């Protein structure tokens, strides 16, 4: 039950973020698949990439993590139909907006 609530929370955050940003277009089914895919990527690939890019993350004070997240967003926009991001900078802004909105939604649910 906890995973379903987290998945729905992430889907809601994705829909809200895409609504706020003009360079990101998404459908409801696209948001569901993006939430599922981001969850899987964050569990499997992100820890490995964070360890591999640790020196750059230290030098940039953690801002390189935004670049990693934006790369995941661009990757998902090429794979998932119903989810389009216009360019890399929209992906960075979407990643930042998604992080902030999902943080607040998780605080409300808890």
Reported as a single tens digit per residue, the pLDDT across 97-108 is 999 999 999 999
Task: Give the model confidence (pLDDT) of 43-68 as tens digits.
Answer: 999 999 999 999 999 999 999 999 99
The pLDDT confidence band at residue 2, using thresholds 50, 70 and 90, is confident
Smallest Cα–Cα separation from 18: which of 109, 93, 103? 93
The pLDDT score that the predictor gives to residue 1 is 84
Instruction: For the beta carbon of residue 95, count every other beta carbon within 10 angstroms.
Output: 23
**Burial of residue 109 (number of CB atoms within 10 Å: 0-12, 13-18, 19+):** exposed
**Range list of H helices, the chain:** 2-20, 28-52, 54-59, 64-79, 88-109
The pLDDT score that the predictor gives to residue 21 is 93
Query: What are the angstrom distances between the C-alpha of 78 and each of 2, 5, 57, 58, 93?
Result: 29, 27, 26, 30, 17
Q: Where are the domains of the chain?
A: 2-109
Q: How far apart are CA 39 and CA 41, in angstroms?
A: 6
């Amino acid at each position: 039950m906890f995973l379903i609530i987290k998945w729905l929370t992430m889907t809601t955050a994705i829909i809200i973020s895409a609504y706020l940003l003009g360079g990101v277009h998404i459908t409801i089914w696209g948001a569901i698949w993006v939430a599922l895919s981001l969850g899987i990527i964050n569990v499997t690939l992100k820890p490995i990439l964070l360890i591999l890019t640790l020196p750059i993350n230290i030098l940039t004070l953690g801002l390189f993590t935004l670049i990693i997240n934006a790369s995941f967003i661009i990757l998902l926009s090429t794979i998932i139909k119903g989810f389009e991001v216009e360019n890399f900078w929209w992906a960075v802004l979407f990643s930042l907006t998604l992080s902030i909105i999902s943080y607040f939604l998780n605080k409300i649910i808890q």
